[in-house]
Amino acid sequence: MADSNFIDYVKIWCASGHGGAGSTHLHRAKYVPKGGPDGGDGGRGGHIILKANPQFWTLIHLKYRKHVKAEDGGHGEGALRPGKNGADIILDVPVGTVAKDAETGEVLFEMMEAGEQKILCKGGKGGLGNNNFKTPTLQTPRFAQPGEEGQEGWFILELKVLADVGLVGFPNAGKSTLLASVTAAKPKIANYAFTTLEPNLGIVSYYDDRSFVMADIPGIIEGAHEGKGIGIRFLRHIERNSVLLFMVSAEDDDISASYRTLLNELKEYNPELLDKQRILAITKSDLIDRDIEKELLPTLPKKIPHVFISSITGYGLKELKDMLWSALQS
């Protein structure tokens, strides 16, 4: 099977440029036998910069670029001429990318605004030329400052997709079918578990040209936080969602138990996810009649808004959109 184009994790080695050395040049000209120091400063080493580019949605362009090295700064020259600054390297990344130190796991920064730029590796400062060290008692310094070394190390770039609504459910619960029904997205849909192997995004149109973004992530199974199934690899993609839409099939024997299992997996992964607004959608409602639907109502989880939907027939989708929009505005 061909590799997916969606890459949300890369590990790269980056090194910024070293600063150029200051010059020890002494001015020499005809009729000026003792012109004094005129060494210029060294140039700054090039930075490694991350830029949030809204045109990018994956880190695949960095998957095979394991080493990134910026240019060193130029050395200072005579006549107080400074060295050339090393060229910066700008790496485009999707909005929502998190930069971490690979050794410590420390989060360095997050790229949250389109167009923003942040320095991942700062270039070394250029050294001062000998002209900076002359004094009344030291009029001809024959030394200069070396340039600072640049920074280097291994870094991890993780992408957390930005969406308003995140779909949470077991495999084959109808998440991708819902996304295809209410957006123009075309996720892979099939009648087997783990059809979705990567996040899918779609824009849900609402009234008066209003819209919101919906994210479908691969299905969760019991024990996902321990690495079962696809594990927790994609759970980070719902950390920035404002609303979590839990989706449980009407075919499940115990809808409340299924909901609690999903909730527990999120809690084990990150307890802060439970602070987000939640809505429960009972999917595949076209497989049951309205009488069974009424019988299920008393068994549903308390204190959480719920709606019966069918992505195939469109049943309940208008009500679902209204509930999601209302939750996003509160």
Please indicate, yes or no, whether residues 145 and 196 belong to a single structural domain of this protein: no
38-55: per-residue pLDDT in tens? 999 999 999 999 999 988
**pLDDT band at 244, cuts 50/70/90?**
very high
Please indicate, yes or no, whether residues 125 and 170 belong to a single structural domain of this protein: no
Please indicate, yes or no, whether residues 204 and 315 belong to a single structural domain of this protein: yes
Which tokens sit at 12?
């790269």
Residue 153 predicted with pLDDT over 90: yes
Please indicate, yes or no, whether residues 325 and 177 belong to a single structural domain of this protein: yes
Mean pLDDT value of segment 113-132: 95
pTM (global) more than 0.75: no
Q: Which of 159, 198, 175, 166 is nearest to 273 (CA)?
A: 166
What is the per-residue burial (b if ≥16 Cβ within 10 Å, else e) of 271-284?
eebeebbbbbbbbb
The rounded mean pLDDT for the chain is 86
Return the CATH number at 182.
3.40.50.300
Q: Given the DSSP bridges, would you call strands 89-93 and 67-69 parallel, antiparallel or unpaired?
A: unpaired
pLDDT of residue 259: 92
CB atoms under 10 Å from CB of 209, counted, come to 6
Residue 243 φ then ψ, to 5°: -130, 140
1-14: per-residue pLDDT in tens? 344 567 888 999 99
Please indicate, yes or no, whether residues 109 and 46 belong to a single structural domain of this protein: yes
Return the CATH number at 117.
2.70.210.12
Domain boundary among 105, 129, 159: 159
273-287: per-residue pLDDT in tens? 888 999 999 998 888
Q: Which residue has the tokens 């909730």?
A: 263
Burial (CB count <10 Å: 0-12, 13-18, 19+), residue 196 = buried
Please indicate, yes or no, whether residues 79 and 223 belong to a single structural domain of this protein: no
Please indicate, yes or no, whether residues 180 and 153 belong to a single structural domain of this protein: no
| Structural domain of 256 | 165-329
Which of 124-128, 196-200, 299-303 shows the lowest mean pLDDT across its residues? 196-200
Mean pLDDT value of segment 208-217: 84
Q: Which residue has the tokens 């607004």?
A: 277
What is the Cα–Cα distance from 249 to 284, expressed in whole angstroms?
6
191-211: per-residue pLDDT in tens? 433 444 567 778 888 887 788
| Cross-strand bridge partners of residue 107 | 100
Which tokens sit at 56?
């990018």
Query: Are the C-beta atoms of residues 108 and 1 closer than 8 Å to each other?
Result: no
Please indicate, yes or no, whether residues 155 and 187 belong to a single structural domain of this protein: no
Q: Which residue has the tokens 């919101």?
A: 212
Residue 108 predicted with pLDDT over 70: yes
pLDDT of residue 269: 84
Domain count across the chain: 2
Domain boundary among 129, 159, 189: 159
Q: Which of 157, 152, 156, 108 is nearest to 16 (CA)?
A: 152
Please indicate, yes or no, whether residues 135 and 256 belong to a single structural domain of this protein: no
Please indicate, yes or no, whether residues 38 and 136 belong to a single structural domain of this protein: yes
Please indicate, yes or no, whether residues 14 and 129 belong to a single structural domain of this protein: yes
Please indicate, yes or no, whether residues 287 and 223 belong to a single structural domain of this protein: yes
